Amino acid sequence: MKPLQMKENDTGGFLFTFCGLDGSGKTTMIRLLREKLAQSHRVVLTKQPTEAVRKSQIFRTYMDCPDHSAFEYRSLSLLAASDRLQHASRVIEPCLGQRAVVLSDRYFYSCLANLRARGYKGDRWIYEIAHHIVRPDICFFFDVPVETAVSRVRARPEEKDRYIDIDLQHKLRREYIDICRANGGVLISTLLPAQECLRIMENEVRKVMYHECI
């Protein structure tokens, strides 16, 4: 697994990103860390991909139904990658320049994981785009067995009947773990109690923010 070569964050702010399967606990853990950080810092919460991509026909096709024959997956991957590049340069970086702490629900690593999980492991363009995206100060990856993640998603009333490609979820889980290890991320099992996961995140954040307290 080749690591992504991203540009350094020299803005004065801090960027923490969160990746993992749907149902891996991202929303809960981001909320808990945000509450802690907001006690002493300006915190900006954001999400990738943006609504412009999430509401597109091609994105909804891949998320909501098993028939993807109308689209080439690379076209969705390129759409998502361009959206992430725009979002990183025009939303995240300005906030970092104002010395904010930015928490991003998903980041460019998710784009890579999805591309590789669908068999496009030889594509190099995604590594080229990464050069123009700011590197997170910490990239957190949350991990649970696929069965646990799916049951959590199904427990949401609005998603109880959502189409989920189980085989793809297993591939994505392996990719996320490999990407985390290759890129110096922090892997956290959210089978642990939420407060224990939060403690792990707090310790990592303190290392990065040095003398500043959360």
Give me the domain span that covers residue 173: 14-209
List, run by run, the mean pLDDT of 10-residue segments along the chain (214 residues): 95 97 97 97 97 95 92 96 97 98 98 97 97 98 98 94 95 98 98 98 93 50
At 125, list the tokens: 């363009």
Q: Give the CATH number, domain containing residue 174.
A: 3.40.50.300
What does the alpha-carbon distance between residue 201 and residue 214 come to, in Å, rounded to a whole number?
Answer: 11
- CB neighbour class for 51 (10 Å; exposed up to 12, middle 13-18, buried from 19): exposed
In a domain, 106, yes or no: yes
Looking at residue 182, its pLDDT comes to 98
What does the alpha-carbon distance between residue 191 and residue 165 come to, in Å, rounded to a whole number?
Answer: 22
In a domain, 7, yes or no: no
Closest CA relative to residue 6, chosen from 98, 119, 92, 103? 92
Contact 151, 166 (CB under 8 A): no
In a domain, 214, yes or no: no
What does the alpha-carbon distance between residue 214 and residue 63 come to, in Å, rounded to a whole number?
Answer: 37
Q: DSSP letters along 9-65, please?
A: --SSSEEEEEEE-TTSSHHHHHHHHHHHHTTTS-EEEEESS-HHHHTSHHHHHHHH-
In a domain, 136, yes or no: yes
Looking at residue 106, its pLDDT comes to 98
Q: Which residues of 189-200 are buried (b: 16+ CB within 10 A; e: fewer)?
A: ebeeeeeebbeb
In a domain, 188, yes or no: yes
Number of domains present in the structure of the chain: 1
Which pTM does this prediction carry? Answer: 0.95
In a domain, 2, yes or no: no
In a domain, 34, yes or no: yes
In a domain, 3, yes or no: no
Looking at residue 211, its pLDDT comes to 59
